[in-house]
Amino acid sequence: MYLNQRGQDVEMQRGTAVKEVNFGMTHLILNLDGKEIAYLLLEEHSLQRNSILNLRAAIYQINEEDEELRNLKERLIQILEEKEENLLSNFLKMNLFYQRI
């Protein structure tokens, strides 16, 4: 389960993500077998704007049998790590004892 943008719990199925191109835009369809279908744009600028929860959901649902999807999963993990590091860094900046390591 994960929270979507509307704050609703959505059940996830492992390995159900599908990559699709429509009107020249590449996106990942998540939760295809579930009630709530989500789309994740795969353009580089759009990837950076996705929330941590959406990135985690996409990583969970990508099937690693396809080489292209495996590479995408690695890229999403990299973006997720950057976002989590920024989140932690910003949180620690609020603390008076913050020092960059």
- The domains of the chain are located at 2-93
pLDDT of residue 100: 61
Contacts within 8 Å (CB) and 24+ apart, 20-29: 28/58, 28/62, 28/72
Q: How far is residue 52's CA from residue 91's CA, in Å, rounded to a whole number?
A: 15
* Residue 54 to residues 14, 65, 69, Cα–Cα distance (Å): 14, 21, 16
Tens-of-pLDDT digits for all 101 residues of the chain?
666 667 777 777 788 888 888 888 888 888 766 666 677 777 777 777 888 888 888 888 888 888 988 999 999 999 999 999 999 988 888 776 656 66
